[in-house]
Amino acid sequence: MSRTKILIAIAVAAALVHGGALQAQTPPGKAAADTVEEVVITAAFKEQGANDSMKMGIPVRDTPLSIESYTGSFMKSIETLEVADLYRYMTGLQKGGITGYDLTIRGFSTIDSDRNTFLTDGLPGLSVRFGSPPTIGTEHIELVKGAASLLYGQAQPGGFVNVITKKPQATPFNELEVRGTENASDLSRVHGADVSLDSTGPLGSSGRVLYRVVGQLSDDDRFHEFSYERGQYLAPSLTVKLGEATTATAQFEYRSSRADYENVALLAPWTKPPAPGATVAQLPPIQTSYAPRGSTRDERGTSASLFLKHAFGGGVVWNGSVRSVDHHDYAYAFDVTRFDTKVPTLLDLRARGQSNQRTYNFADTNLVLPFNTGGVSHRMIVGLNYGKEIDDFRRTKFCAINSPGQPKANASCNIGTNQYTIAVINPDFSAIPPVSAFGPGSLANNYIVSETQGAYLSDLATLTKSWKLMAGLRYSRDKLTAYNNRYVSAPPSAQTLSTVMPQVGLIFQPSKQWSYYASYSTSYTPVDPSTQGLSTSPTFEPTKGVGGEVGAKANFLNGRIDLTAALFTINQKNVLAPYPGGTDALCPSGGCSIQVGAARSKGAELELDAKPIDQWTLIAGYAYTDARVTESTSTGPLVGNLLPNSPFNAAHLWSRYDFLDGTLQGYGAGLGYSYVSSRVAMTGTATQPSEFNLPAYQVFDLAFYKNFGAHFDLTLKVNNLFDNRYYQDGKIVSGMVSVDAGLPRTAELYLRARL
């Protein structure tokens, strides 16, 4: 019997045997229905009170931006292991790849060097790169949309995600969770299990010291052949009340992951770029893996954070935060480098050894100052932040293997004159020697230092009972230095940049139920200094964004119904794109980047969060996004073409109903639906005008809940109920289009015990 089936059997047995006993533990004088209500989802899926993203402790309705704050109830209802698996139930946000940084927000895609795309407690730097943060350690999730660099600095113009981690609480709470996952599809090999712990409360009787420990062990086989992931996560934290007005919270995080070196499905009919008229019907089966059994990708990361807060009185508050991350990842496997030039149904390989180390150190300090000038009340924030990132990328093996489509390499790298390839369809590595059999080949050590300093000021001024004005300014200075290969005596490339960014918004609140706003905002992102340009463009200008937005936020039935709507336009300039290849001396066959001009995204968003009655909670959203190239060079993307991974239409719904009394008391059901329209995986260029389209898809999820009093509950969830085949994103890898398939139908069982 598999480990997952064992866990499921234990969970079901525990539910049957102990459910009645736990229900019998209802405190004297308290009705059973009251006990059930304690563990039923009674909170809304979004929070409309004070949010962390604006750093000022103001409610969402007082912000002239699109800010959504998704609660723990939202995460518990949808039941996922990682934050990224929640994206399809968030408006304007799409998953964009296999790393934690791969997102598409309002039409603009990010990459793993965009560290400010994903923040942890307001500071950059994930402890691991390939995995999204675990939901077990997440208190709530804030999605800030638009060109919002004012308070945080570097950011893509579409916006960013800010995860707020779990902190110590004064009320004791202990929860143990066991999860089992089983395949429920003919085209899948999914099996998985994990165990999680969340414990918090006071240390000692004084209540001045609080603790929290969150941890998780996971073991999963994914749906690709030979694909797996084994993970460990531990996050202890301590909050100390240093005085009546001063608190300090220290938090440590350790996360590790061992997984296969997964190459996702590549485009057929085996040309680079794709031939005109190519469709997903020509892709290999979704379970195809271009990594042999035994290929590995290991990563380990630690982070240490410190949060300080002191209230001076009169509403004046000082906040300070520091975050330090040390991350290592190692790969030992084969890369797919290209379709073979002589036999295009075959793939050429490269033996790869890679060791990457990333170190992040970021700090922010700010002062919140409420004051009055005449009849105008102000809530101002003044702050400074600093960050330093060091990337040390070591290529320990880089051997292009002899193949029929390329010249023979020297024997120091390859094994004699043998030739090796694998097929696009049904790849077979059995005749290929292990990675260790090949020589080191071309080695490299790229060392990159990025240093940023910033100062910001923002003021929320209440002009009258109905009108508010928010205005702010940021100054940033960035120094970028890249040693492109420390194994050779090449001079480093360095660049120092500075910029000033304004933001202004006007808010009209005719009643407690309605809030209308209009805003102008800006963003910028310096280009990674290791990015290879053409001979004629050795350095790049920062990518900048300017956004305009109007919207409305409404709240009815004493907070039971919340509605947000927005119309936006975002213009981005100095956009990077892959160089398709041509006459450039540095990149005749591609692999470089070019700054192609400008892009624009415009659209509309609507999101509803509602709890019409105590038993029923739902969230629904719709986003229309038109993201296109507006300016380009002669070799860049064609003007008017769509940006990748940006659907015109995306909609979602999650609805949960809990029975609070009667025969079905303690039971509940949830239904989820998400729809994504067709989009392109690559933007057509002047030299390769054909695009590759990913078709529209829709996915249904189903969940059943059972609460056994205040101490025990079960959730059974079926992902992709109708087992639809779909492709969630695509990108250019080594000049080829690489496509990520969506998860086939799987069944998950969650068992939670609270002490």
Give the model's pLDDT for residue 312: 94
Tell me if residue 582 falls in helix, strand or coil: coil
- Cα 633 to the center of its chain, rounded Å: 31
Which residue has 């009667």 as its token pair? 662
Q: Please give the C-alpha separations between residue 323 and each of 39, 302, 326, 389, 393, in angstroms, as whole numbers.
A: 34, 11, 10, 12, 22
What whole-number distance in Å separates Cα of residue 291 and Cα of residue 227?
9
Can you read off the two tokens belonging to residue 96? 């964009």
Residue 600 near residue 746 (C-beta atoms within 8 A): no
Give the model's pLDDT for residue 31: 39
Give the global pTM.
0.90
**pLDDT, tens digit (0-9, with 9 covering 90-100), for 578-618:** 666 666 666 765 667 777 689 999 999 999 999 999 999 99
Residue 239 near residue 247 (C-beta atoms within 8 A): yes
What is the amino acid identity at position 187?
Answer: L
DSSP 272: S
CATH number of the domain where residue 454 is located? 2.40.170.20
For residue 99, pLDDT beyond 90: no
User: Which is more confidently placed, 222 or 570?
Assistant: 570
Longest dimension (CA), the chain: 85
Can you read off the two tokens belonging to residue 211? 């603790």
String of DSSP letters for 183-219: E-STT---EEEEEEEEEEEESSSSSSEEEEEEEEEEE
Give the model's pLDDT for residue 155: 85
What whole-number distance in Å separates Cα of residue 452 and Cα of residue 387?
5
What is the amino acid identity at position 74?
Answer: F
Give the model's pLDDT for residue 1: 42
Could you tell me whether strands 467-483 and 123-124 are parallel, antiparallel, or unpaired per DSSP bridges? unpaired
What whole-number distance in Å separates Cα of residue 238 and Cα of residue 626?
46
Give the model's pLDDT for residue 679: 93
Give the model's pLDDT for residue 34: 35
For residue 320, pLDDT beyond 80: yes
**pLDDT, tens digit (0-9, with 9 covering 90-100), for 2-37:** 554 444 444 444 444 344 433 333 333 333 333 333
**pLDDT, tens digit (0-9, with 9 covering 90-100), for 677-716:** 999 988 777 777 778 889 999 999 999 999 998 889 999 9
Domain that holds residue 509: 3-754
- Mean pLDDT within 310-321: 94
Residue 142 near residue 148 (C-beta atoms within 8 A): no
Residue 353 near residue 435 (C-beta atoms within 8 A): yes
Q: How many domains does the chain have?
A: 1
Cis amide leading into 273 (omega within 30) = yes
Dihedral (Cα; 750, 751, 754, 755), 10-degree rounding: -150
Tell me if residue 408 falls in helix, strand or coil: coil
What whole-number distance in Å separates Cα of residue 629 and Cα of residue 506?
30
Give the model's pLDDT for residue 173: 93
Residues 6+ positions from 348 with CB-CB distance below 8 Å? 336, 337, 338, 339, 340, 400, 401, 403, 405, 406, 421
- Mean pLDDT within 385-399: 92
Closest listed residue to residue 15, CA positions, set 715, 725, 614: 715
**pLDDT, tens digit (0-9, with 9 covering 90-100), for 116-139:** 888 999 998 888 888 789 999 999
Tell me if residue 62 falls in helix, strand or coil: helix
For residue 749, pLDDT beyond 60: yes
Percent of the chain residues topping a pLDDT of 90? 51
Can you read off the two tokens belonging to residue 421? 């390839």
Partners of residue 349 on adjacent β-strands: 336
User: Which is more confidently placed, 69 or 266?
Assistant: 69
- Mean pLDDT within 383-410: 83
Give the model's pLDDT for residue 418: 78
Give the model's pLDDT for residue 112: 64
Calculate ∠ Cα 228-229-234, nearest 5°: 165
Residue 732: Cβ within 10 Å count: 19
**pLDDT, tens digit (0-9, with 9 covering 90-100), for 405-451:** 666 555 568 777 778 888 888 888 888 888 888 888 888 888 999 99
Closest listed residue to residue 297, CA positions, set 60, 130, 442, 89: 130
Least confident of 537-541, 650-654, 665-669: 537-541
What whole-number distance in Å separates Cα of residue 396 and Cα of residue 355?
7
Residue 309 near residue 246 (C-beta atoms within 8 A): yes
Q: Please report how many Cα atoms fall inside a 13 Å half-sphere around the Cα of residue 703, on the Cβ side.
A: 23
Closest listed residue to residue 397, CA positions, set 427, 437, 448: 437
For residue 42, pLDDT beyond 70: no
**pLDDT, tens digit (0-9, with 9 covering 90-100), for 617-651:** 999 999 999 999 998 876 677 888 899 899 999 99
Least confident of 180-189, 203-212, 260-269, 359-368: 260-269
Can you read off the two tokens belonging to residue 109? 């895609």
Residue 705 near residue 667 (C-beta atoms within 8 A): yes
Residues 6+ positions from 111 with CB-CB distance below 8 Å? 101, 102
For residue 39, pLDDT beyond 80: no
For residue 535, pLDDT beyond 80: no
Q: Where are the beta strands (DSSP E) in 484-580?
A: 493-508, 514-525, 543-556, 561-578
User: Which is more confidently placed, 585 or 69?
Assistant: 69
User: Which is more confidently placed, 199 or 537?
Assistant: 199
If you average pLDDT over every residue of the chain, what do you get? 85
Give the model's pLDDT for residue 190: 85
Can you read off the two tokens belonging to residue 595? 């700054």
Phi, psi for 83 (deg, rounded to 5): -60, -40
